[in-house]
Structure 1
């Protein structure tokens, strides 16, 4: 049985996140252009009557019982829930882990492209005359953050505050919601899968960190990442095949690397197409480990159906 190695996954995710964080900083655009883009988004929303961030921000500002928890949610859940869902998938749903991780990675990199091409000033940094209050700054005495987004005090210079479009807070929350809804086996997990993305949309607008259209763009980026993820998987498998000298080849039917021709179910993307076929033992596209190389508590993938007569085994 081939399984993803937990330590290689940890290194990979750390490298992707580091690249994302550094790229986000390098993508800092002209402040004047970012403000112009923010105002253009706001005016477009107002023309359509969908500028929900205004009433939400007034509500969160005037009601500390809502504003303070929202600030904590904005500053922390983004960095806690997403890794927790990744670990949960790795341990409990290993057959679907790689496709899910690839989807998240591709979408995140697409978001970085958006930050580069369209630097956008968030509502909280617009001139006060536009009617927004920075709740993160207003209630900063209650948390670890300062007046510069959700960064800890004194580290505001390490974040790009003009990367509002698209909202990856919303994008990552949507990914988490899909995972919990699709693979959660209890009503509670599925309910959380619905509630978490919706709550995140309210939080990012109520704290004046994003426009409504930023949230829409975050969902669109995740959709694009979902479509591109199977191609990224096949490309990664080809690279692994070449660098390993063909050691990852020889899967069922002579294909190289089970995920290079699809997921563990034998289809492209694995997680979203034809999941009824689960007769392939390939999970990690060539990262083969021993049977015992799992992090504590990881459940084995479902046993493959075996139609071989007992006398031939």
Structure 2
């Protein structure tokens, strides 16, 4: 028996409302957990020291490259300020329309990881490289090239709205995390070489952009990937739990049709109060149809609309 695609397809208005609520909670949470500036600076310097110790400090050479060459720095700033908010919704819509069976799990993965990222901002407010003292050798390319875009010198937000952003929400980097999610979706569900290539290129380019513009450390990017990994591991258990909760509180409306496969009533089919599943056909009542159905392995769909008090079996069709 095949699944009914129309029944499983999510409703666009409920999905839009859910995404708006989660994103509003994420944005509001970022503003509420700004963190202390001195603590954020200490965390940023600790990350920088750890990277130097591990010889992972790629931010300085990339930042010098972007500040010395405007043809690299300006597109990088545009990418940082826009793609995060354009590509991710576009991939969500693409999945909703073209891969509806995969959409719910993908959406759940993204949202769980985003909430985990918010927990990271709360527990470890981190000053990005661009806000460290100039003696540490970083230049804010968003400020350097602010005349070319809509952003101001405070952040990638539009001019005058920099104060409405949490500039210490650097660890983990959800720019990298969301880009990794997009890349996995394009690679896994894209059917053309172009989409698969974009799935590989987009998270890599994003990682270089966030470091070259001095918005994130390399370890921020690693943490963003780690958050997405944990979110992926939690997705299936979360969906199973959510399904059980929905099943427990879902109303049973009227009479339903039940499916019998090999004599076993399929899970998920319920009857209204006082109604029972009809008994299987007896040999006497079913002798004529048994000879026809014996070679037919298809499941029999039994109509449960027979009267609850009527002892006669429902007609099979």
- TM-score in terms of structure 1 length: 0.80
Aligned to 2:161: 155
**Cα distance in 2, alignment partners of residues 14 and 120 from structure 1:** 26
User: Which of 40, 44, 47 is the aligned partner of 1:38?
Assistant: 44
Describe the SS at the equivalent of 2:126: coil
User: Which of 131, 138, 149 is the aligned partner of 1:125?
Assistant: 131
Matches within 5 A, 1:43-192: 43-192=49-198
Describe the SS at the equivalent of 1:254: coil
User: Which of 246, 266, 277 is the aligned partner of 1:253?
Assistant: 266
**Cα distance in 2, alignment partners of residues 140 and 79 from structure 1:** 19
Q: Does residue 308 in structure 1 map to residue 298 in structure 2?
A: yes
Q: What whole-Å deviation, never above 9, does each CA across 1:133-167 have from its counterpart, x for those lacking one? A: 00000000000000122100001111100010000
1:237, CA displacement in angstroms? 2.0
Q: What whole-Å deviation, never above 9, does each CA across 1:52-81 have from its counterpart, x for those lacking one? A: 001000000000000000000000000000
**How many residue pairs get matched?**
264
Alignment RMSD, CA only? 2.3
Determine which structure has more spread, i.e. the larger CA radius of gyration. 2
Aligned to 1:219: 225
**Cα distance in 2, alignment partners of residues 210 and 11 from structure 1:** 31
1:230, CA displacement in angstroms? 1.2
Cα pair distance change 1:64/1:243, threshold 3 Å: same
Contact 1:119 1:164 in 2 (8 A): yes
1:245, CA displacement in angstroms? 2.9
Contact 1:168 1:218 in 2 (8 A): yes
**Cα distance in 2, alignment partners of residues 213 and 255 from structure 1:** 46
**Cα distance in 2, alignment partners of residues 190 and 31 from structure 1:** 41
Cα pair distance change 1:116/1:309, threshold 3 Å: closer
Contact 1:241 1:256 in 2 (8 A): no
Aligned to 2:215: 209
**Cα distance in 2, alignment partners of residues 147 and 229 from structure 1:** 38
- TM-score in terms of structure 2 length: 0.79
**Cα distance in 1, alignment partners of residues 215 and 39 from structure 2:** 17
Unpaired segments ≥5 residues, structure 2: 260-264, 271-296, 302-315
Aligned to 1:8: 14
Cα pair distance change 1:106/1:141, threshold 3 Å: same
